[in-house]
Amino acid sequence: MTQHLLGLEGMNVGQITRILDTARSFEEILERPVKKVPTLRGRTIINAFFEPSTRTRVSFELAQKRLSADVVNISNSGSSISKGETLRDTIANLEAMKVDMVVVRHPTSGAPHLLAACTKAAVINAGDGAHEHPTQGLLDLYTMRSRLGSLEGKRVTIVGDIEHSRVARSNIWGLRSVGAHVTVCGPRSMMPKGIEALGVNVEYDLRRAVREADVINVLRIQFERHGTSLFPGAREYARLFAITNDVLRDTKPECFVMHPGPINRGVEIASDVADGPRQVILQQVTNGVAVRMAVCYLYAGGAQAGDEARAPSRPEDEASVTAANVA
Amino acid sequence: MTQHLLGLEGMNVGQITRILDTARSFEEILERPVKKVPTLRGRTIINAFFEPSTRTRVSFELAQKRLSADVVNISNSGSSISKGETLRDTIANLEAMKVDMVVVRHPTSGAPHLLAACTKAAVINAGDGAHEHPTQGLLDLYTMRSRLGSLEGKRVTIVGDIEHSRVARSNIWGLRSVGAHVTVCGPRSMMPKGIEALGVNVEYDLRRAVREADVINVLRIQFERHGTSLFPGAREYARLFAITNDVLRDTKPECFVMHPGPINRGVEIASDVADGPRQVILQQVTNGVAVRMAVCYLYAGGAQAGDEARAPSRPEDEASVTAANVA
Amino acid sequence: MTQHLLGLEGMNVGQITRILDTARSFEEILERPVKKVPTLRGRTIINAFFEPSTRTRVSFELAQKRLSADVVNISNSGSSISKGETLRDTIANLEAMKVDMVVVRHPTSGAPHLLAACTKAAVINAGDGAHEHPTQGLLDLYTMRSRLGSLEGKRVTIVGDIEHSRVARSNIWGLRSVGAHVTVCGPRSMMPKGIEALGVNVEYDLRRAVREADVINVLRIQFERHGTSLFPGAREYARLFAITNDVLRDTKPECFVMHPGPINRGVEIASDVADGPRQVILQQVTNGVAVRMAVCYLYAGGAQAGDEARAPSRPEDEASVTAANVA
């Protein structure tokens, strides 16, 4: 592994596969009554969320606590940031406190990369501006792989505001890396110029975009962020791009629908699709915890050889997952 | 037990007694230097507080951590709620993350019931609007029972803003269930129409209301919430309804005073009563932790047969309370 | 030890030395991969921060979790405080919840003393108004002692807004107690009248103030708090009082620079000094965690004789630091 997880751009199929395979071992733990292993006992992880988040922060925090890490949360309000400290000084301070990993969400694209450049702690990007959201990309890949097996040659259509979506970007990099075909679809005002250079097909007609798809990944439309500057309004958007049962009738019968949440019912996805048999939205949420357990395990040092945390020698410990049978 | 703890309405004396008896076992743990048992190790509890709270949230969090549960907090600010997600989708997501219990406080009456209807996780109501606050009701019953023994036939007078008080409502249901006589007292503008249908006596004169009482439970008057729309003001309220030493002189000598806190000194309770020998306010706070340990234990699956968490097989563990000697 | 840590005023050299010596044992733990000892298992600590803070709160929280304490955070927003509860009632409630220690930061000087006067829980002052910040003072002493050995007769110059700095005040008390010579330097508008009564030299000329210094401790100038009422502006301040490489040229070659952080680059300290070979700023941050582990250990009851938490009898526990080899 590299030291940091900043994005899926540049990550090769072997690296991605290792994370997904590790996540599979952790998925099984989530079905037990005692969902806890001592793997990261005595490791310290900071969740630094400089942008509002519930689901991603809770997902990471659950993953970390189930690995027995010590977890401390920082949010924007009440932080040194508001005292004018530079991000670089903040990370230097956390490193000086002997923190093993910093999970960072930041409104500015590239902020996690800046942090990573000046610390020995592992930096995990939990979403930076409109750039990348690699653990979301990985959990999407994991979910697709669980249903489809190998993703090589599979057809994934991503629908929504491609330009402003870090989820889209991480999906594209990850899917291209494992050999899937990607089509992006959305209004022209939400389509970045030159996106074809990433190796994707661009399609402005929803029906054509999903006809051959094995998976439709629906993006959240953030009207609360962009107002109506990019599109006349939610109703107009829904009329052209919402995934409805009617749209699904024209797809392959085994094609299924994904969404990173939180969903806008009646905007990008119809309520009966969001609750229907063709979607795997809540399975994505479950997989997210397993994937984040894998990421924390692999990047916070749990997987290092000779590590004390590796092979718990306490046979009475019901948490019998060791690095050996996980990795 | 039922799956959820949404209110004391409809709970029978056997169910209430089981919780109170379990709490007694936990109360003893709170006197130890090492206040921790492994009972809920590997269980996950979310505290979702969509309304400001310190004491209830801290009380629950301490109870949970002393049971060794993994605890994650969600508050209103910075949550998906502010992104327009429905409450139903929020709970579905938490369930998908394999959460065992969600403790929820919400400004809207009935919100926990809505959540409970769509999740397999246990939902504990930590206060919903002006509806119920069942763990407060239970800790009040526990405190009364510790002093009075059986509550059958005992006389409890609840004083304050009955209409807007979830504490009053949970007390009434619980006390009626265990056979106590309940009198409610307060200004006419704060008395709900038809409250007699719950089997309580209504009394508008404070002196008459407390004369035969074994217990006076004083409600917090929330002037910050209702302004002076219900009453001319705090001073006028105090003149007629504050519990003072003068008022206590007309009660039975063994009658004692309770208050759910935080107290408004000089409004609903005089400072010398709040600090005096007739009150048990801080004992209620201690009991609150024991009662919430019991609730988390009983509802988060710690009490299930065949559960790995049930009988810790590690004899060296100083936390020797097992399900066997608790339940 | 006394029961509370409210300030370094009145603390004698023996008490200070005991804390610093204990911190040295904990510093070593921070270099391990598994940075966790069971010393405070089952003890409960509340961090009550009624003023924004990241670094101090995170430092305390890491220290506490690495000692295996159960930790609950309270901040100003969403607390009972906003419901009008008195500070005294808040602490009484926390004590009733059987909390062992309350770490409190408060904008009002003396607030921790008020709390300490009415609780059996240990109160640790994490900064009160412009009064004291004793753990910062202790970590500064620890850092100086690590470099200089005994501090008796050593020369420490504190530069900045002496009047509004709790860091300055705790440094002065602590340094005087261990026999160091202290010079304070800053603009006249930031120098409290009669400061000489604390046994310090006052110097308004920066070059003269630092000429013989073994250590320069640079205070953060809080322009966000005091505006320009005390000084014409940041640029003017920097011209006269910033520690620059040019200023350092006139000091003894072994003289080093400290800063409690967060730093204002280009205001009280030049960027190349803040990142240069003469400063120990990040070492202070690391030492802060060790010192706070020592403080929590000594004041939260971990050091009491006959304590179950004292000598973990589990040989398989990799956390083998016991009270015996720490104290």
Q: Is A62 on the interface with B (CB under 8 A)?
A: yes
pLDDT score of A204 more than 50: yes
Q: How far apart (Å, rounded) are the C-alpha atoms in residues A139 and A141?
A: 5
The most distant pair of C-alpha atoms in chain A lies apart, rounded to whole Å, by 62
Q: Which residues 168-227 of B have a C-beta within 8 angstroms of C?
A: 224
Query: Which pLDDT score, from 0 to 100, does residue B226 have?
Result: 65
pLDDT tens per residue, range C287-312: 999 999 999 999 997 555 333 333 33
Interface test with B, best of A37, A58, A285 (most B CBs within 10 A): A58
CB contact under 8 A, A318 and B301: no
| Chains A & C: contacts with CB separation below 8 Å | 95
In the predicted model, is pLDDT for residue B38 greater than 60? Answer: yes
What is B145-162 written as a DSSP string? HHHHS--TT-EEEEES--
Round to whole Å and give the CA distance between C294 and C306: 19
Instruction: Please list, residue by residue across B5-38, b when 16 or more beta carbons sit within 10 angstroms of its beta carbon and e when fewer do.
Output: bbbbbebeeebbeebbebbbbbbebbeebbbbbb
Instruction: Please tell me the distance from the alpha carbon of residue A204 to that of residue A212, in angstroms, as a whole number.
Output: 15
**pLDDT tens digits along B237-265:** 999 999 999 999 999 999 999 999 999 99
Give rounded-to-5 percent helix, strand, coil for chain A: 40, 15, 45
For tokens 């004390």, the residue is: A308
Interchain CB distance below 8 Å, A34 and B42: yes
The C-alpha atoms of residue B219 and residue B222 are separated, in whole angstroms, by 9
Cβ–Cβ < 8 Å for B124, B135:
yes
How big is the CA angle at C47 (ends C41 and C51), to the nearest 5 degrees?
Answer: 165
Q: List, in order, residues 6 or more apart from A90 with CB less than 8 Å away.
A: A48, A79, A80, A81, C54, C262
Q: Which of C41, C82, C96 sits opposite B285 (nearest CB)?
A: C96
Q: Is A282 on the interface with B (CB under 8 A)?
A: yes
| Residue C98 Cα, gap to closest chain B Cα (Å) | 7
For residue A165, name the pLDDT band (cuts at 50, 70, 90).
very high
DSSP for residue C196: G
Work out the minimum CA distance from B5 to partner chain A, whole angstroms: 20
CA-based nearest residue in chain A for residue C222 = A83
- pLDDT the model gives residue C228: 64
Cα of C6 vs its chain's centroid, Å: 11
Q: Is B75 on the interface with C (CB under 8 A)?
A: yes
User: What is the reported pLDDT for A87?
Assistant: 85
Residue C170 and residue C142 in contact, taking contact as beta carbons nearer than 8 Å = no
Q: What is the mean pLDDT of chain B?
A: 89
Inter-chain CB pairs, B–C, below 8 Å: 96
Residues in chain B closer than 8 A to C98 (CB atoms): 30-31, 35, 62, 286, 289
DSSP C279: B
* Whole-number average pLDDT of chain A: 89
In this prediction, residue B228 has a pLDDT band, given cuts at 50, 70 and 90, of low
Cα–Cα distance measured from residue B242 to residue B257, given in angstroms and rounded to the nearest whole number:
12
| Contact across the interface for B33 and C86, Cβ inside 8 Å | no
The first and second tokens of residue C294, run together, are 């020592």
Neighbours of C274 (CB within 10 A): 22
Yes or no, beta carbons of C55 and A80 under 8 Å apart: yes
| Residue that has been written with the tokens 């370094």 in this structure | C8
**Per-residue pLDDT, A232:** 80
pLDDT for position B209:
98
Residues on chain A touching C285 (C-beta within 8 angstroms):
93, 96-97
The structure tokens listed for C257 are 């620079």
* CB contact A55 to B (< 8 Å): yes
Q: What pLDDT is attached to residue B303?
A: 55
CA within 13 Å, CB half, B77: 9
pLDDT tens, A266-293? Answer: 999 999 999 999 999 999 999 999 999 9
What's the whole-number mean pLDDT along residues B196-211?
A: 98
What residues of chain B lie within 8 A of the CB of C70, using their CB? 35-36, 62, 65-66
What 3-state DSSP class applies to A238? Answer: helix
Hey, what are A297's tokens? 């395990």
Prediction ipTM score: 0.89
Residue C285 burial (C-beta neighbours within 10 Å; 0-12, 13-18, 19+): buried
Sign of the C-alpha dihedral, residues A222, A224, A229, A235?
positive
Predicted structure pTM score: 0.91
Instruction: Please tell me the distance in Å from B6's CA to the nearest CA on chain A.
Output: 23
Percentage of the residues of chain B whose pLDDT score is greater than 90: 80
Q: In Å, how far from its chain's centre is CA A286?
A: 12
* pLDDT, tens digit (0-9, with 9 covering 90-100), for B262-280: 999 999 999 999 999 999 9
Q: Flag if C70 and B36 touch (Cβ within 8 Å).
A: yes
Scanning C251-270 for CB atoms below 8 A from A yields 261-265
Q: Which of A274-278, A317-321, B107-111, B148-152 has the lowest mean pLDDT?
A: A317-321
Mutate to test the interface with C, among A46, A71, A98, A102 (most CBs of C within 10 A): A98
Helices (H), chain B: 13-29, 55-66, 87-96, 111-116, 134-148, 166-177, 206-210, 223-226, 234-241, 245-248, 271-274, 281-299, 323-326
**Contact predicate A165/A195, CB 8 Å:** no
Inter-chain contact C36–A42, Cβ cutoff 8 Å? yes
Instruction: Establish how many alpha carbons lie within 13 A of residue C124's alpha carbon, considering only the half-sphere containing its beta carbon.
Output: 31
- 3-class SS shares of chain C: helix, strand, coil, % to 5: 40, 15, 45
Please answer whether residues B142 and B132 qualify as being in contact, where contact means their C-beta atoms are separated by less than 8 angstroms: no
From chain B, the residues in CB contact with C97 under 8 A are: 58-59, 62, 285-286, 288-289
Q: Residues with Cβ < 8 Å from C235, sequence gap 6 or more?
A: none
Interchain CB distance below 8 Å, B97 and A286:
yes
Which DSSP letter does residue C73 get? E
Per-residue pLDDT tens listing for chain C (327 residues): 689 999 999 999 999 999 999 999 999 999 999 999 999 999 999 999 999 888 999 999 999 999 999 999 998 754 555 455 788 888 999 999 999 999 999 999 999 999 999 899 999 999 999 999 999 999 999 999 999 999 999 999 999 999 999 999 999 999 999 999 999 999 999 999 999 999 999 999 999 999 999 999 999 998 766 666 777 888 899 999 999 999 999 999 999 999 999 999 999 999 999 999 999 999 999 999 999 999 999 999 755 533 333 333 333 333 333 333 333
> Which pLDDT belongs to residue C322?
35
B179 close to B141: Cβ distance less than 8 angstroms: no
> Residue B171 — φ and ψ, nearest 5°?
-60, -45
